[in-house]
Structure 1
């Protein structure tokens, strides 16, 4: 991938490149050092505004990323496609459950166990990919992920026994489960906090397209080509993604390449870089983390951080409401309206459309609110080098946009349950699905953006922590929802799940009020420990 050629697209001028040579080690060591500066720290003076003591950048320094705007968009597009794979793989499998049960001569309960085991591994394994991606780099982690995924799909297409199916589904989850956390980390590598919302929305759009299209594709493949074709399709998709990735998608991890001006290790370069013969730039060095076996303990440490624990709890509740609608849509519409598998797959389209629109739209709203809050408190945004967010009301800038959307989503979710119980015209729940899709995915994408903002040194590990918390809660919720339907009916079941984010909404106020203080305390404690 070529670097910027236009000054407005992020290219370094000659004076700037000399500054980078002197300052890059201090400014881009985002994994090995201590501290909680949320963007590269600039030489600055302080301008007091109330009690915020906001930092203003005055001295020139290295830009946040030397990749051109076009290069950044291409890399983030590839990350979005990678993020599409994990949720797509989970739901494309559903239409094959009955055919697999019949062909392997086992019960549906045993086939459902392959779904449960997949979700468990999908929750746990990203913690290892996150740590690997934050130390070795995004490229090695993504290459390992897709390679495992490719061979698991080939095995699944060829297997004809239940034990092989169960084991290979676990391996398949081990392969694709890290792509979402790594996708968010790529955005953090390339884009400053002031513009991060819309790009995070693109990643979430890829995530939400998967569950939308996959049931339709799975139904078509299973009905016309047989269930093995589902796994052959997944294997082909992995190959189609891997080829351009290996050729031209460069390393972006800031612990490895800084702002992109430092070449990665020779083994971590694209074929284009190898053929071109990219050389080490004189005077530019970085203290890279030592390579080690991925350690999920780092993810657990993030989960139990004071501020993160509250953010993860609320984000997981939002994800729970999102996933129970997706997980129960098929069975509810079959029971209520007598739809076929293909018709049920088509019913996912309004839900998915709402999810995609909200993910992209909420990203632009996030960036707008960031600018609005910055202007309100007198904070000068530095889009070129990134902002020092230690004294910026980051939690307020992110979470202010969530509350009205959650109110609408909760009301719609409750109405959705009662409409299904009343067996209203199918158009009514489909419209309500679209509105639910507009509300919940965009809301927990905001939470994930905040999580990445708070952990610039380890964005993949932080995203993996979010993935672990929400997937485990989602797995528990989907296991619990069917008995709840039988016990109290659709209306009351969705009312209970809708009440959860409403009852826990004071957590958002606590995070906004106490989050900045907790960040400063953590920063002070880390500085004392140096």
Structure 2
């Protein structure tokens, strides 16, 4: 494969040897080695250089600076390629990038390629919402309906991309990532075509809801793919790049929507989405292998067959059929209904609830600001055209890009530093990283920056200050909020390493509900109290919510361990 990979240290379980440590790791459980390499539970470790010793690998020994630096060498764990005929997922044999036994053994070039694919795919769902905004007036005129009814095509679209990932995430843990991507984007392309061909506002709303629900698969499952291929030590940077897709999509889409609507009409936006979805479908078909780790499936629940005396009084054939049909029906109900909805129950754990809450409130503010920009700059004293208003979203996108490029590596370096300071090592002298290490000064910078930017925007927009001063606040809001988004999502994948997409699906569910509510109430509140007080109130709420960072630093590890123990008991009971 020929590119860099982290070199194992000593008797590393990453090389396929048994793990000897029982020190709690990133999931709070002991290291578990498999025949394909280390499991997700294994600690991510720093590497001992060839000229550096760590007191013969004994734990809890002081380490010098050189010993704890992560280095990259050309020596890496070779990836075991899965034969073409055994590749998993729909049409798995067609992938040009080979599936490997352990996705974490891909070289870095392949990992970044996979990250790029899912990031581009993740832009589809939020893009489908924002690209439609410039054409809402034309839609109302086409179907001779009110603006309130037309706005349902956006509000219900946002609701669908919050709910559907619960099912996509659950299905992906059983069927694999690739099959879900292909099925969902085939449906997204179909529903987008039917949206463009809609003959009534009712048909348009229904098709848009279905299209949004289909494209939303990547927002949860994509984060699971990132967790599949990247070790936690590098995951912050990768998650930041992945998040550029769903965050920059809605910032670029209004520009495209304005151009398409003015030149070709509102239906052209839906044709654009259909073409985009079709290209992503082909891209995934040939470029993206299955990345879900092989796991032993849980045995299906068995029904009691009763005593031998009762069985002898019944027809053996008919009783067996009743048992099989009942079991099949119960399993189908469990897979389709119960399992996806169980994801919501993770909110009962404080570590998950606080992380999701903090990300959701920031995401809701994002959509309130997007609505405000459209309203504010289309009125006096600005009176900008639709295309110019679309360009005003670019500074926010630049803030997201800057936070992704620099914030992800910063978060990873903080994680390494905290493990070094705490001297958390296992019996082999390898450092152990925990999710809460990601919530340090980077979190405080984000927690102060994006609420301050909201208040900055509040009064420059309210008083009609020059557009540059107002939109500059959008850049800093994007910078600060992206630090929070990427940190929260990465931590959620590490709280539940064996169900990483479930944690992200819950986050997606809550944050899109927040964005839906924000998008619906923003305009009437702006008309009632103005930008100044609306964004001042939001900024103060966000500042007060930064207490989440203090709580997670102080109590997060204890909450996480309790959560892991409870989930472990639940899994054992299911067996």
Q: TM-score, normalised by structure 2?
A: 0.76
Decide whether the 8 Å contact of 1:200 with 1:445 is kept in 2.
yes
**Residue 130 (structure 1) aligns with:** 169
**Residue 293 (structure 1) aligns with:** 336
Cα deviation, 1:264-313, whole Å, max 9, x if unaligned, reads: xxxxxxxxxxxxxxxxxxxxxxxxx9994363223112122221111111
Aligned-residue offset at 1:524: 3.7
Q: Is the aligned partner of 1:349 residue 2:381?
A: no
Cα deviation, 1:84-107, whole Å, max 9, x if unaligned, reads: 111111101111111111111111
Aligned residue among 34, 56, 62 for 1:24: 34
For 1:338 and 1:381, the matched residues in 2 are separated by: 63
Number of residue pairs matched? 473
Decide whether the 8 Å contact of 2:219 with 2:246 is kept in 1.
yes
Decide whether the 8 Å contact of 1:64 with 1:192 is kept in 2.
no
For 2:128 and 2:15, the matched residues in 1 are separated by: 44
**Residue 204 (structure 1) aligns with:** 243
For 1:251 and 1:64, the matched residues in 2 are separated by: 9
Cα deviation, 1:427-447, whole Å, max 9, x if unaligned, reads: 111111111111112222211
Aligned-residue offset at 1:7: 7.0
Distance 1:481 1:244, change over 3 A: closer
Decide whether the 8 Å contact of 1:146 with 1:238 is kept in 2.
yes
**Residue segments in structure 1 that go unaligned for 5+ positions in a row:** 31-36, 51-59, 259-288
For 1:156 and 1:231, the matched residues in 2 are separated by: 6
Decide whether the 8 Å contact of 1:86 with 1:176 is kept in 2.
yes
For 2:449 and 2:14, the matched residues in 1 are separated by: 48
Q: Is the aligned partner of 1:312 residue 2:356?
A: yes
**Residue 102 (structure 1) aligns with:** 141
Distance 1:440 1:23, change over 3 A: closer
For 1:38 and 1:508, the matched residues in 2 are separated by: 26
Aligned-residue offset at 1:252: 0.4
For 1:410 and 1:214, the matched residues in 2 are separated by: 25
Distance 1:64 1:112, change over 3 A: closer
Q: Is the aligned partner of 1:329 residue 2:373?
A: yes
Decide whether the 8 Å contact of 2:396 with 2:477 is kept in 1.
yes
**Residue 307 (structure 2) aligns with:** none
Decide whether the 8 Å contact of 1:374 with 1:381 is kept in 2.
no
Decide whether the 8 Å contact of 1:212 with 1:348 is kept in 2.
yes
Aligned-residue offset at 1:477: 2.3
**Residue 358 (structure 1) aligns with:** 403
For 1:429 and 1:381, the matched residues in 2 are separated by: 51
For 2:370 and 2:110, the matched residues in 1 are separated by: 34
Aligned-residue offset at 1:380: 5.0
For 1:170 and 1:7, the matched residues in 2 are separated by: 43
Q: Which moved more, 1:134-143 or 1:352-361?
A: 352-361
Distance 1:7 1:401, change over 3 A: closer
**Residue 54 (structure 2) aligns with:** none
SS at match of 2:537: helix
Q: How does 1:67-146 map to 2 (within 5 A)?
A: 67-146=106-185
Aligned residue among 461, 465, 471 for 1:420: 461
Cα deviation, 1:342-380, whole Å, max 9, x if unaligned, reads: 111111111211122222321111111111112211235
Distance 1:528 1:410, change over 3 A: closer
Q: How does 1:111-260 map to 2 (within 5 A)?
A: 111-255=150-294
Aligned-residue offset at 1:257: 10
Aligned-residue offset at 1:314: 1.5
**Residue segments in structure 2 that go unaligned for 5+ positions in a row:** 19-31, 46-56, 63-75, 79-101, 298-330
Distance 1:460 1:515, change over 3 A: same
**Residue 267 (structure 1) aligns with:** none
Distance 1:348 1:421, change over 3 A: same
Aligned-residue offset at 1:449: 1.1
For 1:240 and 1:340, the matched residues in 2 are separated by: 31
Cα deviation, 1:124-170, whole Å, max 9, x if unaligned, reads: 11111111122211111111210110000110111221111011011
**Residue 507 (structure 1) aligns with:** 548
Output the aligned Cα RMSD.
3.3
Q: TM-score, normalised by structure 1?
A: 0.82
For 2:204 and 2:506, the matched residues in 1 are separated by: 28
Decide whether the 8 Å contact of 1:362 with 1:446 is kept in 2.
no
Distance 1:523 1:156, change over 3 A: closer
- Rg comparison, structure with higher value: 2
For 2:228 and 2:61, the matched residues in 1 are separated by: 30
